[in-house]
């Protein structure tokens, strides 16, 4: 088995009114997903009604990471909030398209778009 090496995920959180913004950089996989899960739980636990996950600088996303995002979506929805994902890279958008999760998540092109509107709009899609 290969050594996983150092954890390759940087997380930064901020608050914008009732929304919590989680900015990610690096890889979301089986090794880093627990960090993402804890960051989401912390944001929600600190009272963030809406959550925006900025994945603009995410290089890799696996099924474990998707599972954590779905878990976050469910937690936010049960509290009456909105869960938005900012994704601009085709390789990340394609994962949401292939899995059908582009229909479950509010996908946005920027944090500003995500904070400005919680109503579904035309989400960015990956080019085939």
Enter the tokens of residue 7.
């954890």
Give the HSE-up count for residue 126: Cα atoms under 13 Å, Cβ half-sphere: 16
Where residue 126 falls among pLDDT bands split at 50, 70, 90? very low
What's the pTM?
0.85
Average pLDDT of the segment spanning 29-43: 96
Per-residue confidence band for 128, with pLDDT thresholds at 50, 70 and 90: very low
- Residue 1 pLDDT level (bands cut at 50, 70, 90): very low
CA–CA separation, 108 and 88 (whole Å): 8
* Closest of 59, 60, 58, 114 to residue 85, by C-alpha: 114
Residue with tokens 């929600």: 44
Q: Which residue has the higher pLDDT, 126 or 29?
A: 29
CATH topology of domain 10-116: Transcription Regulator spoIIAA (3.30.750)
Residue ranges covered by each domain of the chain: 10-116
């Amino acid at each position: 088995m290969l050594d996983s090496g150092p954890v390759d995920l940087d997380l930064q959180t901020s608050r914008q009114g009732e929304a919590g913004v989680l900015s990610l950089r690096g890889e979301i996989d089986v090794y880093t997903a627990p960090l993402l899960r804890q960051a989401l739980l912390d944001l929600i636990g600190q009272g963030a009604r809406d959550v925006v996950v900025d994945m603009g600088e995410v290089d890799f996303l696996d099924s474990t990471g998707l599972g954590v995002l779905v878990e976050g979506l469910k937690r936010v929805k049960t509290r009456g909030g909105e869960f938005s994902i900012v994704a601009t890279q085709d390789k990340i958008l394609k994962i949401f398209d292939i899995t059908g999760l582009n229909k479950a998540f509010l996908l946005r092109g920027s944090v500003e778009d995500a904070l400005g509107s919680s109503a579904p709009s035309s989400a960015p899609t990956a080019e085939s």
